[in-house]
Structure 1
């Protein structure tokens, strides 16, 4: 019962902590999307975000991709496909880290929800077994002799369910929220990749034009 009580207390602590973290992640994602799609200059937006001490969520994905894009584009000989591959890889790594961070504590909730009923059931069986063992050594059986043990056994079952039910509900809810955030991050990554790809192609075209002047200019020279 002490084990179940500890698991229940830890589960509720993690439930409140994850609820705040996921609410904050959704709020920050909405703020970022509103600012990003408002037409802000990407270089200035990146500098603003990079000045922060820590980045989370969609802002982290954006900064990772844009930083790699700018670094790769400095080499004018790098083809657009290679520039985009590096930026996409950086964004995927950043998104994976963010999802891992959002999913922290969820394995504990899943484990608590899975094993707590069995621990409670084990306590129930153990309590009833002890009650019947004690009853077997008595000449006269009365209800008052077995009632305390059976009551403790039923309490163990109730505690197992009390620890498991909130953990299962919270795990399913948080998993769904993390999945929605992951889909939003993935959609943003695809849309941002399209923007970077257009910039990479335009930069490549400008570099090609500067490297190969018009035919008239060549004849003049």
Structure 2
């Protein structure tokens, strides 16, 4: 996935009201940039961290800048939580995720379950014997890392995330295939685990979903100031 260009670098002064960030650019300008991340951003929204923003020039938008990247301990981390869906869709199209290969059709934001929308619905256009069952793919953005090499999710309580896992479990019970895919938007982690101390309900629901047949996948990304590319699968640890 290509990042918007050009990107301007600066320093984060503070992130507040969820979607706003005060930033001082390297050229001295003090700006307010949109922060496309409604989460807690634990360990990512650190005052004085080096950041990169895009000046989009769209007169219809309230803010002229969008915060795209932050550098933490030498690691580039994209902060936009909408990136993973695009990253995964591109990766599937290029055959980068072997676990999700072999489907001819891909639809986004499809209604299912009890008032939910699945991020990606993969289906097989073939008919008859050998046809693949539909595959429901839920995608979650991951940027939290509190221990070297370990990526964690969530970074705060997420009732919505637990609901999604329950919906996926119901899909497997109905005979469909369901996949929970965690996309780690950083390249310094080797394994993944649920952050049970931050949200024990989610951690428990994730284990229950896995037991119910929901497939768990986790991939990290290769990140530059111009591009984000899905890279390799990470080991998933459900037990502490």
Q: TM-score, normalised on structure 1?
A: 0.20
| Structure number with higher strand proportion | 2
Q: TM-score, normalised on structure 2?
A: 0.19
Larger radius of gyration: 1
Query: Using CA pairs below 8 Å that are at least 6 residues apart, which structure has the higher relative contact order?
Result: 1
| Structure number with higher helix proportion | 1
